[in-house]
Structure 1
């Protein structure tokens, strides 16, 4: 691995104007991984300038040619899958198989949007016999993408792919904890034939590079994934320039298990919903709602199954890797203590594992909390770690009430063999995605986004293209 990584502007690795670097850590060992150039406002300005200058060439290119470039990106991503997956695991900590899945999902996104690039159709509007009215879909321009650390490659590029497909250029600010795969991807895109300046990466800290990017007057659209508090700040800065934003923010997602569910399937789905990526997932099923008649037997099986989860360094491909940092681990541990103070019962986990292989990194045992009051902070706030809060309900109406009694509305899971009930519950749940007898059904074709404080706009699917294009109406008066 390189000891030092640099900014990526105009298809070149360049140092930051300040010539400063910051340290990137390996969360599995607590050791330094490398040094990365520290971008600031001047570097953001250079990247936006490069993107603006590349825009006429990229947007003026035949859409089918742009699409072929994105299809080539998908092919090349699969060629370097092992390299990217290893880099992601070293930088983020997640198990190696999850990192490989992330690379494949990114490749699928570039295939999907590469195929849609020449299918951004306008429409004709029959307003009058004397007029010919039609619409065009045109790119927004320079798009800014501010990405989180939990899925560094996947969540950054799920918005980059539709932006590029629709003719926009890009400036990406990856999370300061996990900038490496974004910088490596930049070379993949360049090798696939994208002109210089179409894709630029400025690593750095949120209050410096992120704030400068969100405030830049030449940015025409902002995509942000992260916390509600930061999302509000991004929206405030965007508003100063009247720039539209797509926000995918936090979640406190309910996972509802009815007594008639396939319990084997529901158990494995519950484990996946909360402990994937060590619970560091915006749409994690962090609130488990169990029907009264199955509560005790499901809980017994859940404790047994959770206790068998193997925790360790991602490079060893365990069931669950470390948290992203010691600071974040202490935050999650603080929530576990708070939950107990609020009346919850800790029945499993709640501490760092004792195995020798876990002593140097930021590891935490999978944790189960029962008897959680619905008013408690651990029931209402996003913990962003391997902590499952468990509730019980008497009937369908109470399940829906509990599920919706939360400020977030990103995802919900429903487990039942009653298809009629599944449809009725899905219709009443306040969430952008409702999964029936599954969790994390995450096809790139499936639009993804939140209700309430979980944000607005949609990533993925055909719907995402709407955010990266603007409609122009052309009206021609015909001769009488």
Structure 2
């Protein structure tokens, strides 16, 4: 069984096709966002690779191998994947840092989180129980949790390893096979999931890990007649396209489609906690987080004070390569950087007050200055469009009802937050905020145990926690007349 230190770039350039490593002539450069230069090449999966992966997965499903495996043995297999990822972390985290631009410490945390997903859902594999339903004398009635079969997992580039693990682990726990389609940006660390499956002695074909073109490989994946369930994290536009395709075959899809999440600062808020959440909520990973705190809703009379505190915090940030654990790291690509700058220009043209930043930093790589707008209103594009970058928009309010209306005033509903020392106020806002998760006094509070998902256009279904495993089973009822 190979150790993590044996892994090098060559080990992860290929695709993991039905349990075998397969290269192709079509290669893409893996760009380091901190320098703008390629540091490795990755094979692009072909339609033939995809067909082989799905065909083998379907054969395994039809054989009932995973379903009939003793649940504690399936749990042990999934736990071994987590152990293998832990072993691969030292090299894998460096690869993830190089290809995504994020801080090395955050890449290490992403490996730790992925490990936790496998260990958490391994613990659920032998606890997926049906139930007995009383129908009266002469009847036996019970339910079974049946796997879908071949599940498709379409993964974004911002947290590729963690997001792949959070759906792959419960899918396996529920006895499904999986085809994981990785992004063209930052795919290499997540390809190590294939190595982890090898080390864990997962039967060949149960899991395939493919890096391929989105419209070609992703499109063929969701259209394939043997794919019975899909998980997608990404943009609203692509999510709508996928759901439209799947509706033709009535195939279920769990989606997480981003947000424009707002944190409400109450007048009694602990401003130190607000500042901590400003970094983590919008400047961590340069704001490339679906549930980022991209809006801060503040009492009108406190806006200037809070702006001053945020500016002082920004002054303390170090900027540079993630390998050195700088506070501000690059965004993923030149194209994404230009999109962020375009959104900033739109904000300025619509009358938002630019307080800080708003420009590209004069250095190699794809760096955007931490940016703060003030005096925005919800009808401004910057107040309702997801930017996916280090851009914070402050919007003032006069009373709690107005703050609530501002927070709920977008098409999204992924996350929301409130900063207050009043537990009654925290409960009042939490009950009324239209979001799949509400953070009180700490943005991103929670863990792998807590359900995560959106309302409104932020998606449907729930990842994480015990709820997630039920995305991957279908309830079958069996009613028996006896005597």
Task: Give your verdict on TM over 0.5.
Answer: yes
Of 390, 404, 417, the residue aligned with 1:400 is 404
CA contact (8 A) 2:140 2:482 kept: yes
Shift of 1:25: 1.1
Residue 457 of structure 2 is aligned to residue 460 of structure 1: no
Of 414, 439, 445, the residue aligned with 1:441 is 445
What aligned pairs does 1:369-380 form with structure 2 within 5 A after superposition?
369-380=373-384
* Residue in 1 that maps onto 2:57: 51
Shift of 1:446: 0.3
Shift of 1:61: 1.1
What aligned pairs does 1:238-387 form with structure 2 within 5 A after superposition?
238-354=246-362, 359-387=363-391
3-state DSSP of counterpart to 2:205: coil
* Residue in 1 that maps onto 2:9: 2
Residue 167 of structure 2 is aligned to residue 163 of structure 1: no
> Which 4+ residue blocks in structure 1 deviate beyond 3 angstroms?
none
CA contact (8 A) 2:193 2:209 kept: no
3-state DSSP of counterpart to 1:458: coil
3-state DSSP of counterpart to 2:293: coil
3-state DSSP of counterpart to 1:290: strand
Of 145, 166, 177, the residue aligned with 1:137 is 145
Shift of 1:156: 1.4
Shift of 1:307: 2.5
CA contact (8 A) 1:215 1:237 kept: yes
Shift of 1:296: 2.1
* CA–CA separation in structure 1 for the residues paired with 2:284 and 2:477: 46
CA deviation vs aligned residue, 1:74-112 (integer Å, no higher than 9, x gap): 222222212111110111110001101111111111111
* CA–CA separation in structure 2 for the residues paired with 1:299 and 1:278: 19
* Residue in 2 that maps onto 1:419: 423
Shift of 1:305: 0.6
CA contact (8 A) 2:282 2:390 kept: yes
Give the root-mean-square deviation of aligned CA atoms.
Answer: 1.2
Shift of 1:184: 1.4
Shift of 1:295: 2.0
Shift of 1:452: 0.2
Residue 21 of structure 2 is aligned to residue 13 of structure 1: yes
* Residue in 1 that maps onto 2:31: 25
- In structure 2, stretches of 5+ residues that fail to align are 1-7
CA deviation vs aligned residue, 1:252-303 (integer Å, no higher than 9, x gap): 0001111101111111112211111110000000010011242221221111
* CA–CA separation in structure 2 for the residues paired with 1:2 and 1:411: 36
* CA–CA separation in structure 2 for the residues paired with 1:59 and 1:377: 49
> Matched residue pairs, number?
473
CA deviation vs aligned residue, 1:110-158 (integer Å, no higher than 9, x gap): 1110000000010111122221110011111100000000001111111
* CA–CA separation in structure 1 for the residues paired with 2:146 and 2:201: 22
* CA–CA separation in structure 2 for the residues paired with 1:208 and 1:40: 9
* CA–CA separation in structure 1 for the residues paired with 2:42 and 2:134: 56
3-state DSSP of counterpart to 1:220: strand
Of 112, 117, 142, the residue aligned with 2:125 is 117
* Residue in 1 that maps onto 2:43: 37
CA contact (8 A) 1:220 1:244 kept: yes
Please, what TM-score do these two structures have when normalized by structure 1?
Answer: 0.96
3-state DSSP of counterpart to 1:462: helix
* CA–CA separation in structure 1 for the residues paired with 2:113 and 2:68: 28
Shift of 1:441: 1.7
Shift of 1:35: 1.7
* Residue in 1 that maps onto 2:223: 215
3-state DSSP of counterpart to 1:310: coil
What aligned pairs does 1:56-71 form with structure 2 within 5 A after superposition?
56-71=64-79
Task: Say which is worse superposed, 299-308 or 416-425, in terms of deviation.
Answer: 299-308
CA contact (8 A) 2:18 2:56 kept: yes
3-state DSSP of counterpart to 2:170: helix
* CA–CA separation in structure 1 for the residues paired with 2:328 and 2:313: 13
CA contact (8 A) 1:41 1:213 kept: no
* CA–CA separation in structure 2 for the residues paired with 1:271 and 1:7: 36
What aligned pairs does 1:201-240 form with structure 2 within 5 A after superposition?
201-240=209-248
CA deviation vs aligned residue, 1:161-184 (integer Å, no higher than 9, x gap): 100111001101011112111211
CA contact (8 A) 2:320 2:326 kept: yes
